[in-house]
Structure 1
Amino acid sequence: MHRGIIFCFILLGIALSSCNKDTPEPANQPAPSSDNTYSYLALGDSYTIGESVPATDQWGMQLADLLRKEGVEISNPVTIARTGWTTSQLAGAIAEADLKPTFDLVSLLIGVNNQYRGQPLSTYRTEFTQLLNTSIRLAKGDPKRVLVLSIPDWGATPFGRNQDREQIAAEIDAFNAVAKEVAQKAGVEFINITPLSRTLAPDLSYIASDGLHYSGKMHREWALLALPKAKDILK
């Protein structure tokens, strides 16, 4: 199927309501909390918003729940994410939200739509670097409070069955290499969830009903992978 047709399916067939909104939705600021409650900001695209799963199944929501079970008092994440967003669209939404730089934990997972749309790595490098700098600023200026997650490999899903999976995997790896390099240079932790998206995808219990995104079960695996680093940040 032509890439343009597939792209329309992703943005129209799966998330029609999102595609008809050009203005980013305002993010909810953290509710007032005690000095002992940490705040969390989750930035990204469909993998952060949890396309095709309930909000409670989002990996960021599950991470917060896991942290609370470990005795870490943390609020549910303030989430700025939408299906189909590229790095530039996420940057615009963050600017629109006008957030205060007071978050104890910030996660960033972005880039699959840059890859899908065939945008150059050089553009991704520039825009991802800017997003990471913004994430650090919002995390009280501390890079140690930021987590970057790698881009999952959508080519391994049932939706990618008739695509060139080797090419998709190679492109995803190239984008992730840039994200890892930029994160490490900034002193930010990089968490590689891509292998999970490949090895677990044949088990359909890890795939959302649309055949393209991931179920709450997969989101939990991502949260579990991020949990030790998040605990270390908030200890």
Structure 2
Amino acid sequence: MMNKIKILALGDSYTIGEDVPQSESWPYLLKGNLENRGLSVELKIVAKTGWTTDELGLAIEQSDLKREYDLVFLLIGVNNQYRGYCIDKYRNEFRRLLLKAKSFSVNNSVFILSIPDWSCTPFALEKDKSKISEEIDAFNKENFEISESEGAHYLSITGISRRSADDPRYTASDGLHPSGFQYEKWVEKIILKISWPAQI
């Protein structure tokens, strides 16, 4: 097993951990988990609250990212859905982002996280929850099929996010984003998906 690994996380508010301490965001929880296993972890995050696929793509183009990461994670699309962008646009841009993510991986260890369902949060109380949930499912159908076709590992965390409807521990204080408690559940699933020691 390698003693040192590099992790790249690409995304939006779910990746930076909006409204939770940095240490409770899922990339940093993952870092801590791996460090507790005796690894030295270097973490790079390219994400910003509100980013859509095209905005993340632009940020990547303007970055100095190289093919040097042992684990690459991509989670993007909720803001495409929120802004009402067409799913065809998402499909095309997500595929390009996935190919970019693969180009940064030294061993083709790319992980796609599904889009959480924010219809289950207090923020969506007066919105059309069924419509939101159906659209999230449609976007996730696209990113799953693209992930399968490109040989990326797929992690569905949408079901975990839907626990927010019945358990307030899963939602941050802003009533919209996941809590550190929820991100811990994501990391438990991520750890199970990583092949030891082949991928790290």
Shared fold, TM over 0.5: yes
User: Which sections of structure 2, spanning at least 5 residues, go unmatched?
Assistant: none
Looking at structure 2, the residues matched to 231 and 95 of structure 1 have their Cα atoms a distance apart, in angstroms, of 30
Does the alignment pair 1:52 with 2:19? Answer: yes
Q: Is the 8 A contact 1:41 1:107 kept in 2?
A: yes
From 117, 122, 129, the equivalent of 1:158 is 122
Query: What is the SS of the residue equivalent to 1:39?
Result: strand
Displacement, 1:230?
A: 2.7
The equivalent residue for 1:69 is 36
**Cα deviation digits, residues 30-74 of structure 1 (max 9, x gap):** xxxxx7310000000000000001111110110111122233432
Q: Is the 8 A contact 1:201 1:207 kept in 2?
A: no
Q: Is the 8 A contact 2:121 2:164 kept in 1?
A: no
Looking at structure 2, the residues matched to 38 and 102 of structure 1 have their Cα atoms a distance apart, in angstroms, of 9
The alignment yields a C-alpha RMSD, in angstroms, of 1.4
Matched to 2:71, the amino acid is: L
Query: What is the SS of the residue equivalent to 1:40?
Result: strand
Displacement, 1:201?
A: 3.8
Q: Is the 8 A contact 2:72 2:104 kept in 1?
A: yes
Of all paired residues, the percent bearing the same amino acid is: 44
Point out the structure with max Rg over C-alpha: 1
Displacement, 1:231?
A: 4.5
Displacement, 1:214?
A: 1.2
User: Which sections of structure 1, spanning at least 5 residues, go unmatched?
Assistant: 1-34
Displacement, 1:94?
A: 1.0
Matched to 1:206, the amino acid is: Y
TM-score normalised over the length of structure 1: 0.81
The equivalent residue for 1:100 is 66
Q: 1:52 to 1:137 in 2, by over 3 A?
A: same
Looking at structure 2, the residues matched to 181 and 117 of structure 1 have their Cα atoms a distance apart, in angstroms, of 22
Question: Where in structure 1 do 4 or more consecutive aligned residues deviate above 3 Å?
Answer: none
Higher strand share: 2
Looking at structure 2, the residues matched to 104 and 161 of structure 1 have their Cα atoms a distance apart, in angstroms, of 40
The equivalent residue for 1:32 is none
